[in-house]
Structure 1
Amino acid sequence: MKQILLFGAGKSATSLIRYLVDLAASRQWQLVVAESSPALAESKLKNAPHTRAVGLRVENEEARTALIQQADIVISLLPPALHNQIALSCLAAGKHLLTASYVDPALRALERQIGDSGLLFLCEMGLDPGIDHMSAMQMISDIKSKGGQIQSFHSHTGGLIAPESDNNPWHYKISWNPRNVVLAGSAGAQYLENGGIVTVPYERLFASTGEISLPSTGPLAWYPNRDSLSYIPIYGLQEASTFIRTTLRYPIFCQAWAAIVSAGLTDDRQPLTGTPTYAAWSAPILPWTDDSNRPLFEFLGLFDNTPVPSTARSSADVLQFLLETRLAMSPQDRDMIVMQHEITYKKEGKLYTEKSTLIVKGEDSSHTAMARTVGLPLGIAARLILEGNINLTGLHIPILPEIYDPVLDELEQLDVRFTHTTE
């Protein structure tokens, strides 16, 4: 009996667990979910056959190693900083590892050992990164196979609130890790545009956005991701003069968030002194406040004369608390994933623009589109590996056709599908 071990049962794990529960039942496999809160894992497994919840703190090396030794494949949905501990245990135990996180320097340092061990460590296997890589590489491969010379590449992804659940002035609700929302863009961004490298500091990131428009959403603003440049050789697009990977929000969100960043309210380095009121804490934003953004700040509670949480240790902590409470999804709310690739290429002297668009809506606040699009690629890849349909070894991200073709095929069967247009 094959065993799948999943670390983490948080917001992003719901759809993955549901997929793996069905997989375990149909294949007579076993699913083990390790979580610091076993009650959380049990609530998602719902006593399904062939499943088991285990209470575990991943820092407990002995317990972690014992669990990993029993597994055939390991999936980690824990915070990225904890992946390295799991990776080391997987190496020692000779087990494959899947994550939805970026390959960080600690994992990259293990690349030779992973290759020598004959194991597959497959990272960036979620939504963004993940589905974005797979769908973009499939487009790029198809265009090149037809003789197209790619000139520009734009890839946009956003986790938004579905229009039918959009009832606040931010046009946004929290469907994933709120800390990531608070700190988004804090490293600034670099990308290639018209043959030149563009560097955007954090202070200007949300004030210098681009725009796309879709029939189902209207105008959406995009801000560039931290590092587009490193993906140019990975995607094999050295000939392109423009290469940008971005994050989508509604325009008013970016306009208001630019003021929050300028006021220093996202800072997580300077300790918060005392327990000020929200109004006192947010006072630095007043010079950036006008009639267009004041309703958003008031909705968030920035000007309330009540004390900030006593547990807050930094300004970022205060802001995160407000996001979690004021921009929370109601039980029946639906979130929405929007992804669009736009590739301009030349073929036989003519210029073409090909667009590939994905829109996925969640079921409710538990079964979100975010959880669906992060979790399903991981589950599909785990099945393909265990059934011998992916036989790669080493450290990889999903840019190879032997990964992305079968995964995208199954995603389409699960109603995660792109629409394509060419002009």
Structure 2
Amino acid sequence: MPTIHWLGAGLSSAPGIRRLAAGNTPLILWNRTASHAAAVVAGLSSPPEIRTLDLDALAAVIRRGDVLVSMLPADMHLQIARLALDNGAHFVSSSYIAPEMLALHDEGQQRGLCLVNEVGLDPGIDHLLAHRLLHQYRPRHRPEHRLRFRSWCGGFPALPNDFRYKFSWSPVGVLRALRAPSRCLQNGRETVVQRPWLGLSRYDAELPAGRESFEAYANRDSLPFIAQYGFDPSWQVEQFVRGTLRLDGWSAAWQPLFEELQSLEGEAGETRLQEIGAELWHNYAYAEGEADRVVLCVELEALEGGQPVWHGGLCMDARGNEKGSAMGRLVSHTVSLAVDSVLAGELATGVSAAPSDPALIDAWFAALSELGDEVHPLPGAQLQT
């Protein structure tokens, strides 16, 4: 029987670890601090084996068909994927597919191994929502349709604070993302924004509990996902944006920080970035038991003659509870479902992202619903025939 090796027991790992530990597949939890890993699985009737993270020790016990789950910092994923390939094991991570990871695709296929990425929340569940909308729209497509696609996701305190944000992962990672340019389609044209706060817009979400207004900005490079989501090259796409939601008032609260980030340069700037990250973690980390909130909205709209003729929208609005933080549940439960699918032979070999198969998407969403996190139609979106 294969073994699941879960590497890293951080803030976004606990619910997925506990779910897999309740299954029938042997699970070993590897973490730098064994005592922290023990706290994550405390109270389980059959807790997994815990080992101190050491890659040499890990390599010595991997067997063909095992699954390595990397919830370590993103710069370690390639090393773990390489370790998996060299030992005949599969690999799963929630992070974006880096070019160096994609370069392993052919080798993974040749060895019959899965290298699965982008199966967390964002990226992950957002991909599943996009694929579901594309499946629903495709039979209704007409050549004259002009398409607008929007995918927004954000995590923030369930009870807003003055800073309009708290950190569930490294503040330095958040700061680096704010210093990176974004690329998307707006009004049929490629749009590049050098700093996210320079391209802020508003997003009015018609959530199940009512309408709510957020600040929103594009992040990373949205354009490769046009093909990944299955948009036909002949389709007329006038808007395609993947981005981040923030609570109303976020940009005003962060303005002094934006100004300092803009000025950082060179080695001194990197040092200051690390200092700012430490300060933010000290001042704005979640308190023990404090509830967070995650809002994810994905919409696809078709227009003809300037008028909407089809509009599909799906959303999640989750809050932290006794089962874990909203962020931790949505990231790690989805990772754990990917592990199940790897072991069941449901995913393609080589490098892949969240699945597009309708039946598998339905199964994953059903499992998430059973775990307490449901996908809802956006009340403002109607699937028109």
TM-score w.r.t. length of structure 1: 0.81
RMSD of aligned residue pairs (Cα, Å) = 2.4
- Pair 1:256–1:266, CA change in 2 (3 A): farther
How far did 1:354 drift? 2.2
Distance 2:200 2:248 in 1: 8
Deviation string for 1:7-51 (max 9, x for gaps)?
10111111111111222xxx2x21101111111111112274261
How far did 1:346 drift? 4.3
How far did 1:339 drift? 0.5
Gaps of 5+ in 2: none
Return the match for 2:318 from 360, 364, 367: 360
Contact 1:335 1:369 in 2 (8 A): yes
SS across alignment from 1:184: helix
Aligned to 2:5: 5
Aligned to 2:41: 45
- Pair 1:11–1:268, CA change in 2 (3 A): farther
Contact 1:235 1:399 in 2 (8 A): no
Contact 1:4 1:71 in 2 (8 A): no
Aligned to 1:381: 338
Contact 2:64 2:89 in 1 (8 A): no
- Pair 1:350–1:109, CA change in 2 (3 A): closer
Q: Does 1:241 find its partner at 2:238?
A: yes
**Counterpart residue type for residue 227 of structure 1:** D
Return the match for 2:74 from 74, 80, 86: 80
Distance 1:169 1:55 in 2: 39
- Pair 1:195–1:399, CA change in 2 (3 A): farther
**Counterpart residue type for residue 34 of structure 1:** W
Q: Does 1:322 find its partner at 2:322?
A: no
SS across alignment from 2:13: helix
Contact 1:68 1:89 in 2 (8 A): no
Distance 2:171 2:265 in 1: 13
Q: Does 1:169 find its partner at 2:166?
A: no
Structure of greater Rg? 1
Identity of aligned residues (%): 26
Distance 1:346 1:217 in 2: 23
- Pair 1:270–1:71, CA change in 2 (3 A): same
Q: Which moved more, 1:12-21 or 1:65-74?
A: 65-74
Distance 1:6 1:207 in 2: 39
Contact 2:70 2:91 in 1 (8 A): yes
Contact 1:30 1:50 in 2 (8 A): no
- Pair 1:347–1:405, CA change in 2 (3 A): farther
Distance 2:59 2:203 in 1: 47
Runs of 4+ off more than 6 Å: none
Gaps of 5+ in 1: 273-312
Contact 1:209 1:223 in 2 (8 A): yes
Count of residues in correspondence between the two structures: 369
Deviation string for 1:59-100 (max 9, x for gaps)?
x4x323113337621111011110111111111111111100
Return the match for 2:353 from 397, 403, 406: 397
